A and B are shown apart, each in its own frame.
Chain A
Amino acid sequence: MQQNHYLFIKYTNKPVEIKMNKIFVLTNRLFLSYFLFLPCHVFAAEMNYSSIIEPVLELHKTLIEAMKLGESEQFEKRVELLSPVIKRSFDTSLIARIIIGRAWINLDEAQQDEFINLFNELTVTTYADRFNNYNQEIFSTKSTETLKNERYLIRTELKAADDTVALDYIVQQTDSQWKIVNVIANGISDLSLKRAEYAKIIKVSGFSALVNKITAQIADIKKND
C-alpha cells in the first residue's frame, strides 16, 4: 500500500491528503531542507560580505574623523589617528611588491623592508594631508564585484558639497584578513600611476634614487602642513 504524505496542509476545514511516490517525497524534503537552512547560507554570505568591505568602511570612518580634526595644526593628530587604520586596511607589502615590479627580486630583504616602511609612511602622510577639512562629506558604498582569484572590487562614492568622486577599492585576503591592494579614484588607479613612475625612476636612476625621492616627498608634505 502506498504511504500517504502530508506535504502541505492548506487551511481548510479538513487536512488535504496528498498521495505521492517516494522519489517525489525525497525531492520535496531536500527542497524544504534547503530553504530551512537558507537563512544560515544567507547569514554566512552576509558575514563574508561584511568582512570583505570592512577595511574600506573602517578607512572611510577614520577619514571622516580625520577631516573633523581640522586644518594644519592638527596634522600630527591626523597622522596618529590614520596610521594604525592604514596599516590594518592596506596590504602595504603586496602593494610595494606590485609597484616596484620586476626590480623587487633584485632587492635584499633589508631594502624591501625599508621600502615597505617608507611607502607606508608616504600613504599615511598623504591621507593626513589631503583629508584635512570636513565639509559634510559622505562616503557611500555602491556595489561589490568579483574579480579573479577571490579578489573583489568595492565601488564607493565620496560626495562633497560641489563634487562627487568615485572611489573604487580592490581587496583580497592576506593571512585571513581582507585588505586593500588598490585604490581607483575616478577611474585612475593609484597602483598603476605609481608603478609607471617608479619603474621609470628605477630604470633611469636606480632604487636608491627612488628612496631618496620618496623621502624628500614625505618631508615636503610635512613641511607644507
Chain B
Amino acid sequence: MISRSIFVSIKLVILSIVIAFFTGCAGNNIKQDVVHNTDSIEPANRLFFDVNESLDKNIFKPAAEAYVSVTPKPIRTTVTNFFNNITYLNVVLNSFLQGKWKQGIHDSLRFFYNSTIGIGGLFDVSTALEISAHDEDFGQTLAVWGVDQGSYLYLPFFGPNTVRNTTNFVPSTLLNPLFYASGIVLLPVTALNAVNTRANLLEASNIRDEAALDPYVFTREAYLQQREHLIFDGNPPVSKYDDFVLETEQESSLIIE
C-alpha cells in the first residue's frame, strides 16, 4: 500500500514539475503586473477562497479561539514545537538539494538535538543553543533549480499556493513520520495541528481583515511576495523593489511627451 502511494506520488511530482516548466515557458517577466501573469485561473481561485473563508469563519477560527482560551501559551508553544520538528526533515532535505551544505548540516543538528534532548521535539533546545530554524521546501528547491513558479493556485483547505509549490506536498508528506501512523492516531493529531496552526495565525488574519480592501488579492500578493522572500533567504534582488516607482516615472515621462 505504501509503496504504491510512493509510486503515484512520484508520478504527481513529475507531472507538477512538467506543468510548472511549461507554464513558465509562457513567459513570466518580473516587471509585469502580477495580476495578469500569475493568476490565470482567478475565477476558480476566488471560488475556493470564498469557500475557505466561509469554513474558516464558521469552523476553524472559532475552534482556534476556543483552543487559545483554554490552552495556556506554554502548552501551545510545546505543541507548535512538536509539529515544527516532525516536519523539519523536509527542511533538511531541501537545504541539501539546494546545495546549502553547511545549512543542511546545521538543520540536521537542529533536528537531532530537538528530537533527543528536546524530547521528541516538544522543546526547542536548538534555538537556545543558537542553532536557529530555517524555512525550506521543495517549491523553493525547484525555484533555485530554475523552474518557473507557474500559476497562482488557491487550494481548498490548503490555501494559497503555486503550481511549483504544490510539488512540496509529496516530500513533506513522505518525510513526516505521522504519515505512517494509523488513522486512530493520525486523525486527532492532524486536527490538533490544524487548530494549533490556525491559532498561531489569529493575529495575522486579524491584521489582514483590518488592512485588506480585497482580501483575496491581499492574500495572493502577500503569499507570492513571501515566497520570493523565502526563496532568496530573506535577501531578494533589490532591483525588484524599484519596479513600481520606475514604471510610474516612465508613465509620467510618456504623458509629458
Could you list which residues of chain A lie within 8 angstroms of chain B, going by C-beta atoms?
A: 94, 97-98, 101-102, 105, 126, 129-130, 145, 147-149, 151, 153, 166, 168, 170, 172, 181-182, 184, 186-189, 191-193, 195-201, 210, 213-214, 217, 220-221, 224
Contacts and interface: CB of A to CB of B under 8 A. Distances in A.
B257 interface: no
A191 to B, nearest CB: 6
B229 A189 contact: no
B244 A198 contact: no
Given A193-B218, A198-B213, A217-B213, 14 more contacts: A94-B248, A97-B252, A105-B255, A130-B207, A145-B238, A151-B245, A153-B238, A168-B241, A187-B226, A187-B234, A187-B236, A188-B225, A196-B35, A197-B217
Contacts of B239: 147-148
A205 to B, nearest CB: 10
B213 A189 contact: no
Interface in B226-243: 226, 228-230, 234, 236, 238-239, 241-242
Interface string B172-206: 00000000000000000000000000000000000
Contacts of A168: 241
Given A145-B238, A147-B239, A193-B221, A201 B213 contact: yes
A192 B225 CA distance: 9
Nearest to A187: B229
Contacts of A182: 241, 244-245
Secondary structure class of chain B's binding surface, majority of residues: helix
Contacts of A220: 210
B245 A181 contact: yes
Contacts of B207: 130
B244 A195 contact: yes
A98 B244 contact: yes
A170 B229 contact: no
A192 B244 contact: yes
A110 B251 CA distance: 21
A147 B246 CA distance: 11
Nearest to A203: B35
B10 interface: no
A153 B213 contact: no
B225 A196 contact: no
B241 A184 contact: yes
Contact of A148 (B214, B221, B225, B242): B242
Interface residues of B, number: 33
B162 to A, nearest CB: 16
Nearest to B225: A188
Contacts of A181: 245
A151 B242 contact: yes
A201 B236 contact: no
A170 B245 contact: yes
B211 interface: yes
A189 B236 CA distance: 12
A220 B209 CA distance: 11
A181 B214 CA distance: 22
A170 B244 CA distance: 12
Contact of B225 (A97, A187, A221): A187
A125 to B, nearest CB: 10
A191 B243 CA distance: 11
Contact of A126 (B34, B211, B244, B246): B211
5 contacts: A97-B248, A182-B244, A188-B222, A188-B226, A192-B221
